[in-house]
Structure 1
C-alpha cells in the first residue's frame, strides 16, 4: 500500500510536469485575428471556391479558405478557422474541376491525361493579374466581400 501511494504521487508529479508547456513554434507565430467574408460571381454566391490571401510582406504567412454554399468563408492561417495575421493582402479566388482522361483501349490502366475546367475568370486566379485586395485590421473582420465579374 505504501509503495502504491508513493508510485501514485510520483506519477502525479511526472504528469503535471508534462502539462502546461507552451509549444515554442506556436508561441513564435504571428498573432491571427478572426477574418471571414463572402465571394460572389456576377451577383451569385460561389460554392467550393478556394480563397487565398497572399501577404504584401514576405514575412507574414498566407491565409486561405474554401467557400460554403452561400459563398461565405472563414480564413485559416495555422489552425482551422483561426483567421489571418493583420496586414495587407492580394487575393486570389479559384474554382476548378479536373477530369482524368483514361485510355479507351485500357480503361483500367494509368490515366493518359487530364482536363481542367475553371469556373471563374482566370484573372482572379493569379497574383500577377488579380485586382482583389484585402486589409485585415488588428481587430479582425467579418465583412470581406469579393464580387467577381466577367
Structure 2
C-alpha cells in the first residue's frame, strides 16, 4: 500500500464533486471522494490509507445527486440522478486512464475531456458537400469529369426525347 491523492480535471477545469476509483489488476479497489477543488485522497481498507502498489485502471463518476449545491429533497430513493461526466469515464474498462501506484507518496492528475460530436447535415466539411449535392453514382454532369456528360446514350433523339417504342430504329442491338 502507498499513499495516493491527486486532482481530477474535466476539460481543464477541476471536477467539483464525484468519486474516483482505482481498480488494480487484482484485489481491492481504492476509492476517493472528489472535493470542490477537484482534489481527492484514496482509501482502500481504512480512511486515507492509499492504494495497492501496481497498475490501476481509473473510473470517475459525478452524479447530479452528489452535487453539494443540489436539492437533496428532490432525489428519489436510490436514484443517483444524471451522470455529469462523459459515459466512457464511468467505467474502468472504458475510461482509457491508467495509473501506476509506487512506493512512497503518489500524486495523480486525472485529465478527462468531453468528446466533440460533429454533425454533418447540409453543410460543407473540408471541401466535401454533404446531402443531395453529389451526382448520382455512375452519372457525370458538367461539374464532373471535365465537363463530360452521361457517356451512355439512351434511345431517343438528341433533345433527350423518350424513344418511340414503335420505331424499329430505336432498338438497342445486343
Under a length normalisation based on structure 1, what TM-score does the superposition of the two structures give? 0.65
Counterparts of 1:132 and 1:140 in 2: how far apart (Å)? 20
Match of 1:50 among 15, 19, 28: 19
Match of 1:137 in 2: 102
Using the TM superposition, give the Cα deviation of residue 95 of structure 1 relative to its aligned residue in structure 2, in angstroms.
0.1
Higher strand share: 1
Structure 2: which 5+ residue stretches go unaligned? 66-73, 115-174
The Cα RMSD (Å) is 1.9
Structure 1: which 5+ residue stretches go unaligned? 1-31, 102-110
Say whether residues 1:149 and 2:75 are aligned partners: no
**Match of 1:120, SS?**
coil
Match of 2:41 among 59, 74, 88: 74
Counterparts of 1:50 and 1:43 in 2: how far apart (Å)? 18
CA contact (8 A) 2:57 2:92 kept: yes
Using the TM superposition, give the Cα deviation of residue 148 of structure 1 relative to its aligned residue in structure 2, in angstroms.
0.7
- Alpha-carbon distance change, 114 to 64 in structure 1, aligned in 2, over 3 angstroms: closer
Counterparts of 1:132 and 1:48 in 2: how far apart (Å)? 19
Look at both structures and tell me which one has the larger radius of gyration over its CA atoms: 2
Say whether residues 1:127 and 2:92 are aligned partners: yes
Higher helix share: 1
The count of corresponding residues between Structure 1 and Structure 2 is 106
Under a length normalisation based on structure 2, what TM-score does the superposition of the two structures give? 0.56
Using the TM superposition, give the Cα deviation of residue 93 of structure 1 relative to its aligned residue in structure 2, in angstroms.
0.2
